[in-house]
Amino acid sequence: MYNDIRLEKGLYNLSGKSFTAALEELDPSSAYLGTPLEPLDAFERQLKRFNIRVSGPDCDKVEKFFSSTETAVLFPEYVTRCIRKGFDETVLASVCAAKTVSESSQYLGCVLTDTAQYTTTTQAQLLPEATVYEGTTPVTLEKFGRRISASYEAVRKQRLDVFGVMLRSIGVKLASSVVKKAVTVLAENAQGISTSDLTYADLAELYGQFEYFDMTAVIASPANASKIAAMEQLKNTRADNDGRIVLPFGSELIKSSAAADSTIIGIDKSFALEFITSSDLVLETDKLIDRQLDQITVSITCGFRKITPEAVKVLTIS
């Protein structure tokens, strides 16, 4: 049971396993099916075990994690989860069709060549061919990260929910720097149209550029996104429950500072982009456990590859 787990630093250093995965092996969630603890994962059960409240009116302070040597072991996972939540709340997840974990710092994916027309074929003739082969240009994964400096004395009395918001904001900004790389890859060598002034007709024409795929998302800079939102054709458009604005022809409007003011990118989110990473978010753990919060680093090593070029079109504003 979760009350009997011995928490120690070594749970962070098991090869190929996250801290939560290591906890799940010791305390499988499947054992709690049909019980009040079913909604919780192994880490959350440890928070319950030590009565550490990370949100709500009775939220604890940072120092609660350091009330014992065992509870201190939980702190790096709490920090990681807060940063990851901010990272995952950005547009990154909504523009990637697939995620690949690569063991190498360079990734060589497959390339599909499928240019023959999809038409009927007469009897005894060979069918038109599509080929899949290994690419010749590897994607080099790059490291994105941040160094966090904060002494234990500075944060020990801080409420965990407020401290968590600060960490989430770091995750948001870290993801934004990653998104810039994604947008660069999407726009590179992409075909499309050009205009001298952004109008709704231009967006509709961009939508019409997609032959086999659909334009499920439009990525625009904050300046262009505000122009689009102010268009007469969108005056009756309301954001959905998740705060997303959907254009009349069904494309989600994604506002991102990663996009240039001179380019609007239309994509089919299900086919356009591959997210390649060599690891999840990496966080130094020993220093956090030992209350040495100064000079803590969080990073992710990743890259992007366009899977289907026809699923990306650009509108260039001159």
Domain regions of the chain by residue span: 2-96+140-180+277-304, 183-274+306-317
Q: In Å, how far are 26, 60, 71 from 63, measured between CA atoms?
A: 26, 8, 10
pLDDT of 127 higher than 70: yes
Cβ–Cβ under 8 Å, residues 258 and 179: yes
- pLDDT tens digit sequence for 147-156: 888 888 888 8
- pLDDT tens digit sequence for 230-255: 999 988 777 777 778 899 988 999 99
Distance, CA of 192 to CA of 290 (rounded, Å) = 54
pLDDT at residue 154, as a whole number:
84
Distance, CA of 133 to CA of 193 (rounded, Å) = 30
Phi first, then psi, for residue 201 (nearest 5°) are -60, -35
SS3 at position 139: strand
Cβ–Cβ under 8 Å, residues 180 and 142: no
User: What is the residue whose two structure tokens read 């014992």?
Assistant: 68
pLDDT at residue 294, as a whole number:
64
- Of the pLDDT bands very low, low, confident and very high (cuts 50, 70, 90), residue 37 is very high
- pLDDT tens digit sequence for 269-299: 999 999 999 878 888 777 776 766 666 788 9
Distance, CA of 263 to CA of 193 (rounded, Å) = 10
Distance, CA of 186 to CA of 80 (rounded, Å) = 29
Distance, CA of 201 to CA of 235 (rounded, Å) = 15
More confident residue, 79 or 243: 79
* Residue 140 in tokens: 């080099």
Element (H, E) at 174: helix 160-187
DSSP 8-state secondary structure symbol assigned to residue 39: T
| pLDDT, averaged across the chain | 90
Cβ–Cβ under 8 Å, residues 258 and 178: no
Q: In Å, how far are 195, 221, 280 from 234, measured between CA atoms?
A: 20, 17, 39
Distance, CA of 141 to CA of 304 (rounded, Å) = 8
Highest mean pLDDT among 5-19, 109-123, 300-314 belongs to: 300-314
For domain 183-274+306-317, which architecture applies? 2-Layer Sandwich (3.30)
pTM above 0.75, yes or no: yes
Residue 195: HSE in the Cβ half-sphere, 13 Å Cα cutoff:
16
pLDDT of 60 higher than 80: yes
